[in-house]
């Protein structure tokens, strides 16, 4: 079961997301908020749904057949600490 993490900033919308993401190597995953590399194993993850929002409940996390489901993405430790909704 994936942990339900939600953040105060939309996925892929960090101030330098595009710039950071464009610098990633082909096999390097980027943070869903800032686009910087995230190393495995991922400590923090979040599910992206609705074409660009965080899953609001466990049902959205598990509804992989929904057309807006974009999967589980890694979140870097700095973004997790800064943007996590507690």
Kindly state whether residue 61 falls inside one of the protein's structural domains: yes
Kindly state whether residue 22 falls inside one of the protein's structural domains: yes
Number of domains in the chain: 1
Q: Using 50, 70 and 90 to split pLDDT, how confident is the model at 51?
A: confident
Kindly state whether residue 8 falls inside one of the protein's structural domains: no
- How far apart CA 61 and CA 35 sit, in angstroms, is 21
Q: Domain limits at 49?
A: 17-83
Residues contacting 20, CB < 8 A, separation 6+: 14, 30, 31, 34, 35, 36
Q: Using 50, 70 and 90 to split pLDDT, how confident is the model at 44?
A: very high
Kindly state whether residue 24 falls inside one of the protein's structural domains: yes
Mean pLDDT, residues 25-54 taken together: 94
Kindly state whether residue 57 falls inside one of the protein's structural domains: yes
Q: Judge whether residue 18 has pLDDT over 60.
A: yes
Kindly state whether residue 11 falls inside one of the protein's structural domains: no
């Amino acid at each position: 079961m994936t942990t339900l993490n939600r953040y105060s900033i939309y996925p892929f919308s960090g101030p330098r997301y595009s710039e950071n993401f464009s610098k990633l190597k082909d096999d390097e995953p980027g943070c869903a908020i800032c686009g910087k590399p995230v190393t495995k194993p991922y400590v923090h993850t979040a599910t992206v749904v609705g074409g660009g929002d965080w899953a609001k409940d466990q049902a959205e996390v598990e509804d992989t057949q929904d057309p807006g489901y974009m999967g589980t993405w890694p979140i870097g430790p700095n973004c997790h600490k800064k943007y996590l909704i507690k």
